[in-house]
Every structure is written in C-alpha cells, then in structure tokens.
C-alpha cells in the first residue's frame, strides 16, 4: 500500500455500525498503545486487522445483529447462534410483571426462566403509532439516501484505488450492489441495555452499548454470551426473547441472584429471518438507524434451584483430543431441563506471540469448528463459547485475557495457555449419547477443514 494514512482514512470514512464488542477490542488496543508507544508497529497490525474485519462486514455481508423468529407460545428458539431449548421450557417459566415506558410505547417484562446454564427473559413491546413510524418498522433498511451515498462511495473508492494502483478495487466499488441486495430486508425491533451516553464534537448526544457489560448480577457487571429474537405479533406489538449464558463461573455458583437491566434503548435493526438468498445480512447504518431512550429499569429475582434439582451431572471418561501443542478434555457434562452443557478444558504448551498470531507459524491453530450428533447420527444444534482465557508466562507470572483475544502486544515464548469452554447442545427425547466432532478451518478459502478429533459421550451412565 503506497499510503497507509490514506488507507486508514478511507476505511474510517465508511458508513457502518461497529458491533459493541468489536469496538471494545478497538478501545483496548488503543489503551495498550498509550501504555507503550515503542510497540506501535505490532499495534498497527492489530488495529488494521480490526479495520479489515469491519471492511469485511461491508464486503462480505457478515451479520452484526441477527434477529430470528421465536415461538409466541411455547419455547423460544435462538436459531441464529444454534441454541434450542427443550419442551420443558414452559414448566420452568416464571411470570413477571414489570413495565418501562416512553410515552405510549411500553415494554413489559412478561416472564423469566433460569436453569443451570441459560437464563431467558420474555418481553412484550407495544408501540405507539408515532414511535412505530419513527423506527421505520416494516420498511426497508435501505433508504434513498443510502443508495445515493453508496454510489458516491463507489466513485470515491474507484478513484482511491486507481491512485494506489491496487488490484482489489473491484471489491471496494461494490457498495451500490451490496446496498441494492439488502433492499428486501425490513426493519424489526431490538432491545439493548447498558447504553452509555456520549457527546460528539458537535455537541450531539448519542447512546452506545457498553462493550464490557451485558447485565448486572447482584450489582456487579457481567460480560457473557447473549442472543435476542424478535417476532412481530401485530403492527404495534412484538415479542422479544433475551437469552444470557450464565454458567457457574459467571454467577459465582449462586442458586439465587438478582439481574438488573438499565439504560434501555428501543432500536430498529434489519430482520433477516425471511431474507432471500441474494439479500445481504443487515448492517445498520446512519440513514436507517433509529433509537428511543426508555426510562426506568428491570430488576429480576431469578432462581435455578428447581432446574438444578432436575439436572444430572456426569464426569465422563472420554478420550482427550491432542493436536499440535494443544490438549482438549471434557471435564463435566450437565443434562439440564433445557439443554446439555459440556464443559471443556483446553491447554496449550510452548505458546509464544508468534504461534498465536502468525498464521504461517508451525503451531498456529486456526478457528476450530464443532459439530454434535446424536446416537442416530442426526445433527444437534450447538453453541460453543469460551468464558475464560489464562496465560502463564515462563517466569510464572499469570494474566487473564478476554475470551478469544490476544491480551498483550509484547513478545513472549514458552508460555502455557489454559481455556475454559462450554458447548451448549440441543436436548431431545431419546438421546442416549452424543458425538462431538472438532475440525480446524483451513486458511485457504474453499479448502476442506481438517478433522482433529472427537469426543464420544455416553449420557446413560
């Protein structure tokens, strides 16, 4: 690239909503930069990789926020991240009666459900005519302004890449095409919590989600895996389910605890559950984006005691999976009323900055995909989530990094990394055993993933 400053300026001028958790990583990188400017070269590489990821959202149509359909009566299904709960959901559902409002628009907390893994909150959103129109519900996420802006950006991009003699100009002049492919995606509602009030250079007040907090548990901030579904009931009413993954580590082994949700926003977002094959996944933009600040908060006393009483805990003797310098082991399996939760420990030896950041390094391990099948070899839905990442350096010093992150810019070697992961697997009738298969993605596009091993777990021990 002939002019890196111009590249960063060009990338930063793109109109895109950055997911809060990606933004949190960017802020963390910038904080590290302030601590040690001598390592700016490494930080620039890390920052540019984030910029490339954001550009990938524009080019590849990655889903930032997905809203899938859940049942209005019976169990909600969080299909976009692969979580399905069992038919026992209704038995553990507890009715709630709380309400927050903005004028005639009201958000009712209808119920809660808590078991040994997930907590689900059910909301009814009832909109005034004025707020429905403001949020542009059931209207295309693509506005006339967005179309004109895309044309303008294509022209700017073409001129930019010509000046830099780049061979990838085609990819950066596809804004209009991508926008047009999203025209069939309509707006639906989305609830967000813990929005931070910010003021821009022009004095305009904006609200953005706190990238380090998803909910308060007994007054303390908790950052965890979440999902939300929204289903339209009528023009002015929506059903929203909010799911939180709360294993024992997140709630300090408590059976009873209080959840608090505050700084509430009602927003619009592209509803992709009915999109056609040629439509892109929805990335919200400034022309479409609308937010309404809702006063008040929700405080919910939840208990997993009933679910815990009906949870079976196993410690299976499954074989370890060994691959390169990594060992994976199943530590525990919980068969809860809602799903099957498999706790997996991962240990990597002889870890260096090079082996975890350089894709060409001998012991580099790419993204690992996980699939689950039942005793009849039928596929089960599965969600994999890492909740803890600890590094022990050669001098004995330990650090906890954010899940999925490289938490340092300093060079190191001969360290040990320990991860705690959970596989949340669909529970269904007649399930006797599960087979969990792991494969490493290939760097080269289109190349088949490499099988690295499997866990076979007998659930009838």
Q: Which domain holds residue 388?
A: 311-458
Q: Are residues 300 and 391 in the same domain?
A: no
Write the CATH number for 288: 2.60.40.1630
Question: Over 90: is that where the pLDDT of 363 sits?
Answer: yes
Is residue 70 a part of any domain in this protein? no
Q: Are residues 152 and 267 in the same domain?
A: no
Identify which of 286, 54, 63, 275 has the alpha carbon closest to the alpha carbon of residue 181: 275
CA distances to 13, 44, 157, 160, 304 from 6, rounded to whole Å, are 11, 14, 12, 9, 54
Question: Over 60: is that where the pLDDT of 56 sits?
Answer: no
Q: Are residues 166 and 46 in the same domain?
A: yes
Question: Over 90: is that where the pLDDT of 139 sits?
Answer: yes
Is residue 302 a part of any domain in this protein? yes
Last residue of a domain, one of 266, 290, 306: 306
Q: Are residues 329 and 386 in the same domain?
A: yes
Question: Over 60: is that where the pLDDT of 188 sits?
Answer: yes
Is residue 72 a part of any domain in this protein? no
Identify which of 11, 436, 102 has the alpha carbon closest to the alpha carbon of residue 293: 102
Rounded distance between C-alpha atoms, residue 342 and residue 360, angstroms? 31
DSSP class of residue 2 equals -
Range 11-30 average pLDDT: 46
Question: How many C-beta atoms surround the C-beta of residue 255 within 10 A?
Answer: 15
Question: Over 60: is that where the pLDDT of 65 sits?
Answer: no
Give me the helix-helix angle, 20-35 and 40-60, nearest 10°.
Answer: 160
Side-chain half-sphere exposure of 112, counting CA atoms within 13 A: 20
pLDDT tens digits, 281-315: 555 678 899 999 999 999 999 999 999 999 999 99
Q: Are residues 224 and 363 in the same domain?
A: no
Listed ranges 255-264, 312-321, 438-447; the one with the highest mean pLDDT: 255-264
Write the CATH number for 441: 2.60.40
Phi, psi of 404 (to 5 degrees): 80, 5
Q: Are residues 246 and 379 in the same domain?
A: no
Rounded distance between C-alpha atoms, residue 455 and residue 317, angstroms? 10
Rounded distance between C-alpha atoms, residue 213 and residue 193, angstroms? 9
Is residue 260 a part of any domain in this protein? yes
Q: Are residues 149 and 117 in the same domain?
A: no
Comparison of pLDDT for 196 and 304, the residue scoring more: 304
Strand pairing partners for 454? Answer: 437
Rounded distance between C-alpha atoms, residue 29 and residue 12, angstroms? 16
Last residue of a domain, one of 180, 208, 229: 180
Last residue of a domain, one of 306, 340, 367: 306
Q: How many domains, in total, are found in the chain? A: 3
In terms of pTM, does the model score above 0.85?
no
Torsional class of 342: left (φ above 0), alpha (ψ -120 to 50), beta (otherwise): beta
Range 218-238 average pLDDT: 92
């Amino acid at each position: 690239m002939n002019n890196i400053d111009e590249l960063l300026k060009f990338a930063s001028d793109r109109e895109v909503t950055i997911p809060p958790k990606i933004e949190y990583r960017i802020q963390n990188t910038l904080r590290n930069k302030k601590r040690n400017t001598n390592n700016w070269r490494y930080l620039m590489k890390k920052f540019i990789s984030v910029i490339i990821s954001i550009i990938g959202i524009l080019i590849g149509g990655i889903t930032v926020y997905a809203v899938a359909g859940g049942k209005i009566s019976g169990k909600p299904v969080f299909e976009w991240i692969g979580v399905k709960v069992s038919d026992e959901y209704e038995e553990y559902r507890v009715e709630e009666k709380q309400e927050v409002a903005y004028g005639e628009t009201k958000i009712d907390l209808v119920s809660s459900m808590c078991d040994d893994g997930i907590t689900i909150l059910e909301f009814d959103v009832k909109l005034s005519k004025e707020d429905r129109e403001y949020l542009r519900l059931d209207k295309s996420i693509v506005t006339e302004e967005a179309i004109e802006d895309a044309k303008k950006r294509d022209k700017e991009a073409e001129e930019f890449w010509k000046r830099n003699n780049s061979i990838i100009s085609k990819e950066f002049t596809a804004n209009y095409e991508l926008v047009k492919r999203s025209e069939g995606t309509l707006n639906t509602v989305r609830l967000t919590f813990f929005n931070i009030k910010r003021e821009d250079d022009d004095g305009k007040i904006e609200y953005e989600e706190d990238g380090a907090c998803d909910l308060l548990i007994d007054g303390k901030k908790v950052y965890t895996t979440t999902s939300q579904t929204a289903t339209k009931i009528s023009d002015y009413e929506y059903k929203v389910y909010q799911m939180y993954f709360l294993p024992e580590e997140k709630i300090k082994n408590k059976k009873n605890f209080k959840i608090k949700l505050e700084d509430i926003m009602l927003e619009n977002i592209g509803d992709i559950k009915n999109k056609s094959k040629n439509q892109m996944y929805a990335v919200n933009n400034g022309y479409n984006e609308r937010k309404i600040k809702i006063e008040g908060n929700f405080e919910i006393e939840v208990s997993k005691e009933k679910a815990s009483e009906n949870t079976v805990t196993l410690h299976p003797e499954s074989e370890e999976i060994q691959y390169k310098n990594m060992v994976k082991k199943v530590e525990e399996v919980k068969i809860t009323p809602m799903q099957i939760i498999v706790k997996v420990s991962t240990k990597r030896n002889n870890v260096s900055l090079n082996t975890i950041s350089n894709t060409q390094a001998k012991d580099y391990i790419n993204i690992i995909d996980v699939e689950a099948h039942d005793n009849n070899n039928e596929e089960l839905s599965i969600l994999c989530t890492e909740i803890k990442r600890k590094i022990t350096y050669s001098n004995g010093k330990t650090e906890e990094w954010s899940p999925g992150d490289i938490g340092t810019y300093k060079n190191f070697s001969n360290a040990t990394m320990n991860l705690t992961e959970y596989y949340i697997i669909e529970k269904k009738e007649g399930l006797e055993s599960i087979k969990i298969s792991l494969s490493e993605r290939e760097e080269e596009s289109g190349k088949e993933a490499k099988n690295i091993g499997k866990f076979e777990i007998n659930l009838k021990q």
